[in-house]
């Protein structure tokens, strides 16, 4: 008897969930897909991963109804390269110019390239992005007062409501489609990352105008009483209000779901929370006693709840794959004196892991990762090794799309692991920080890399002039470098890493 599924996800037969591990790929399906991508959220920052000083009931209910992965990774310990890899299926370290971008960078994904949204659009999905982009816009020397292209609409998205880079970088405006939202033509935007423009105040010259002071950097143009990275003049009516960013972005995400609920859709919702500057809405101020960072986690959890509630109200829950993760590990002081360090207490943003954002240790890339698909994915936990870079190949398998030979060179089809049908996952994980690392089985090797032990945030970078080796099963905190005791294992893992680097691809 054939198994079919309606748009509401109701099974026409009662075949056991795990009876046919590859049935999902053999019979193409088109469930809705919502990918929520938090910013700088650590492995230990949510209660379903062990946090106690902050409560995340909505993230927790997604975890309780789905699979909570304990060995899932972003592909990089910083934001731009993780997002590049997610959308292209290619390790960002393969392509020069994919490091953390300024707000006026040109688009780093070539228009027409085979991407995750392009693949799903080809499969019949309506595709949309809401939130953080940080992959560049235009072809260089962009005029923010005219048509802003190429951008998300040229790399596979049908709808786009974004902010160009990060909350702490100018321009502090939203872009919908190809235009800045709410721009007054009489007050044109000018952006410069080399020198100040116009007569606008800066954090460095006018600290008396600030309501949040920088701890390092972040002392250029002032927007809403907060100094940013980079200089901006004009666009005063278009500038966002920091306290309202979560409301604005969540509203746009819900609007996309409402407009497209009668057809298959893919929503990439990349939140601002909990990236700096952390200025949560007054509804959340004081929610944790941990200051703005803890309160921003609660605000993020609210956004998750709004999405889950909307799916439920529209009766889309059973036919929607909901995935929640973070672009890299945590950071506490990332440039502003917001008391997050002083109020951290015994909260451990990376949980049991060493390092955080920017780090070659696992705190840099091992992140929360949840997959919920009621009726199709059995709730539980999984230690299968998976990477966000695998979503392109895995969702292609789900929807019956055959990847072109030159597309997604590093994306593995780990669909059975994502659906809880297998504990196998991918054969190895490549992590990217200042140095590259490779995890295979219980072992992790970090290649030699000279440089400082910590950066200005206080996070450990993982640099060492000699290779490092850790047994993650025995030492998840990476406290005991056993490279001297196992030189052959170091040689083996670094040889595989070098092969992956030289081959120009990782997927079979």
Specify the domain boundaries for CATH 3.40.720.10 within the chain: 25-189+234-418
- Residue 505 clears pLDDT 90, i.e. is over it: yes
Helix, strand, coil percent content, the chain, rounded in steps of 5: 25, 20, 55
Beta-strand runs (E) in 39-154? 67-69, 72-73, 126-132
The residue written with tokens 């970088």 in the block is 169
With beta carbons less than 8 A apart as the criterion, state whether 9 and 376 touch.
yes
- Residue 16 clears pLDDT 90, i.e. is over it: no
With beta carbons less than 8 A apart as the criterion, state whether 266 and 32 touch.
yes
Residue 29 has what pLDDT? 86
Q: Which residues contact 138 (CB under 8 A, 6 or more apart)?
A: 106, 107, 148, 149, 150, 151
Tell me the average pLDDT of the chain: 94
pLDDT tens digits along 70-109 = 999 999 999 999 999 999 999 999 999 999 999 999 999 9
| Burial group, residue 346, by CB count within 10 angstroms (0-12, 13-18, 19+) | exposed
Residue 27 has what pLDDT? 56
The residue written with tokens 């666009």 in the block is 235
Q: CATH code for 429-503?
A: 3.30.1120.10
| Residue range 455-476: mean pLDDT, rounded | 97
Reported pTM: 0.94
CATH classification for the domain delimited by 25-189+234-418, as one of 3.10.129.10, 3.40.470.10, 2.30.40.10, 3.40.720.10: 3.40.720.10
Residue 496, H or E segment: helix 487-503
| Residue range 25-37: mean pLDDT, rounded | 83
Per-residue pLDDT band for 384 (boundaries 50, 70, 90) equals very high
Specify the domain boundaries for CATH 3.30.1120.10 within the chain: 429-503
With beta carbons less than 8 A apart as the criterion, state whether 111 and 136 touch.
no
Cα–Cα dist 168/230, whole Å: 9
pLDDT tens digits along 168-177 = 999 999 999 9
Cis peptide upstream of residue 329 (ω within 30 degrees of 0): no
pLDDT tens digits along 224-239 = 999 999 999 999 999 9
Per-residue pLDDT band for 14 (boundaries 50, 70, 90) equals very low
The residue written with tokens 């609920």 in the block is 261
155-434-506 Cα angle (round to 5):
55
Q: Which residues contact 203 (CB under 8 A, 6 or more apart)?
A: 210, 213, 214, 218, 219, 220, 222, 227, 228
pLDDT tens digits along 141-168 = 999 999 999 999 999 999 999 999 999 9
Alpha-carbon separation of residue 459 from 335, 374, 455 (angstroms):
13, 38, 6
SS3 452: coil
For the chain, give the number of residues.
Answer: 508
Cα–Cα dist 173/159, whole Å: 17
Q: Which residues contact 210 (CB under 8 A, 6 or more apart)?
A: 203, 222, 225, 226, 227
Cα–Cα dist 31/151, whole Å: 26
Residue 62 has what pLDDT? 98
Cα–Cα dist 322/311, whole Å: 10
With beta carbons less than 8 A apart as the criterion, state whether 208 and 117 touch.
no
- Residue 11 clears pLDDT 90, i.e. is over it: no
């Amino acid at each position: 008897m054939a198994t079919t599924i309606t748009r509401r996800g109701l099974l026409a037969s009662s075949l056991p969930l795990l009876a046919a591990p590859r049935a999902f790929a053999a019979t193409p399906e088109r469930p809705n897909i919502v990918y929520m991508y938090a910013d700088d959220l650590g492995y230990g920052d949510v209660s379903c991963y062990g946090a106690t000083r902050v409560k995340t009931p909505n993230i927790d209910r997604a975890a309780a109804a789905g699979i909570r992965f304990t060995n899932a990774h972003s592909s990089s310990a910083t934001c731009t390269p993780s997002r590049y890899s997610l959308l292209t299926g290619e390790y960002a370290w393969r392509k020069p110019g994919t490091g953390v971008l300024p707000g006026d960078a040109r688009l780093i994904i070539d228009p027409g390239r085979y991407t995750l949204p392009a693949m799903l659009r080809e499969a019949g999905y309506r595709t949309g992005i809401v939130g953080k982009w940080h992959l560049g816009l235009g072809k260089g020397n962009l005029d923010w007062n005219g048509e802003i292209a190429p951008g998300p609409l040229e790399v596979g998205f049908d709808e786009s409501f974004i902010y160009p880079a990060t909350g702490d970088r100018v321009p502090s405006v939203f872009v919908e489609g190809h235009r800045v939202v709410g721009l007054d033509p009489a007050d044109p935007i000018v952006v410069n990352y080399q020198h100040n423009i116009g007569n606008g105040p800066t954090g460095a010259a006018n600290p008396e105008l600030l309501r949040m002071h920088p701890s390092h950097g972040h002392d250029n143009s002032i927007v809403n009483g907060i100094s940013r990275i980079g200089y901006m003049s004009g666009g005063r009516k278009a500038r966002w209000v920091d306290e309202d960013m979560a409301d604005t972005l969540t509203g746009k995400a819900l609007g996309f779901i409402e407009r497209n609920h009668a057809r298959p859709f893919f929503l990439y919702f990349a939140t601002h929370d909990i990236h700096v500057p952390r200025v949560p809405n007054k509804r959340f101020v004081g929610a944790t006693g941990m200051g703005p960072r803890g309160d921003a986690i609660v605000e993020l959890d609210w956004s998750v709840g709004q999405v889950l509630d909307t799916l439920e109200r529209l009766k889309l829950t059973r036919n929607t794959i909901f995935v929640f993760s973070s672009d890299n590990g945590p950071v506490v002081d990332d440039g502003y004196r917001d008391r997050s360090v002083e109020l951290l207490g015994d909260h451990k943003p990376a949980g049991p892991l060493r390092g955080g954002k920017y780090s070659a240790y696992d705190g840099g890339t091992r992140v929360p990762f949840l997959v919920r698909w009621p009726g199709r994915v059995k709730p539980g936990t999984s230690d299968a090794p998976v990477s966000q870079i695998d979503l392109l190949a895995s969702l292609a398998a789900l929807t019956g799309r055959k990847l072109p030979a030159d597309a997604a060179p590093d994306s593995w089809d780990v669909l059975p692991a994502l659906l809880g049908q297998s504990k196998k996952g991918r054969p190895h994980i490549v992590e990217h920080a200042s140095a590259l690392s490779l995890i295979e089985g219980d072992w992790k090797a970090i290649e030699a890399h000279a440089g400082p032990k910590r950066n200005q945030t206080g996070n450990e970078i993982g640099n060492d002039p000699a290779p490092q080796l850790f047994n993650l099963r025995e030492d998840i905190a990476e406290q005991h470098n056993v490279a001297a005791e196992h030189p052959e294992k170091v040689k083996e893992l670094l040889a595989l890493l070098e092969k992956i680097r030289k081959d120009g691809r990782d997927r079979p």
